[in-house]
Structure 1
Amino acid sequence: MRKWLLVFSAGTLLCSNAFAQARKINFEKYTLPNGLKVILHQDRTAPVVAVTVLYHVGSKNEDTARTGFAHFFEHLLFEGSENIKRGEFMKYVNDAGGSLNANTSQDRTFYYELLPSNQLKLGLWLESERMLHAKIEEIGVSTQREVVKEEKRMRIDNQPYASFQTEMLKRAHHDNPYRWAPIGSMEHLNAAQLPEFIDFYKTFYVPNNAVLSIAGDFDVAETKKWINDYFAAIPRGTRPIPRPQFENNLLGKEVRDVVEDNIQLPAVFQAYRAPKQGSDEYYAFNMLSTLLSGGASSRMNKSIVDEKQLAVQALAFPFFNESAGLFITVGIANMGVKPDTLEQAMDVEVNKLKTALVSEREFQKVKNQIQTQFVSSNASMAGIAESLANYEVYFGDADLINTEIARYEKVTRQDLMNVAKKYLNKDNRVVLHYVPKGKAPAAGQP
Structure 2
Amino acid sequence: MALSLPNNPDLERFRRDARRLQRAVRAEQPEAFSLVAAHHPGGVPTSASAFTLADAQLVVARSYGLASWPKLREFLRRSEPMRRDPTALSAEVVEADPAAAVPALACLGYDENDDPARWARAAQLLEQHPGLAAHGLAVAAASGDAAAVRAHLAADPSSARREVGPFRWPPLLYVVYSRMPQADAVASAGLLLAAGADPDSGYLWQGLPPPFTALTGCFGEGEMGPGRQPRHPRWRELALVLLEHGADPNDRQTLYNRMFGRDDSHLRLLLDHGLGESSSEVWAGRTGVAGETVEEMMGRQLRWAHAHGFADRLSLLEQHGFALEPGDTASPSRRVPRIHRAATAAAVRGAVAAGADVDARHHGRTALHQAALMGDLEVIAALLDAGADRAAVDSEHGTTPLEWARWARQAAAAELLRDPPHYGGAHDVP
TM-score of the pair, normalised by structure 1: 0.25
Q: Which has the higher strand share?
A: 1
Taking CA–CA contacts closer than 8 Å with sequence separation of 6 or more, which of the two structures ends up with the larger relative contact order? Answer: 1
Structure in which a larger fraction of residues adopt helix: 2
TM-score (norm 2): 0.26
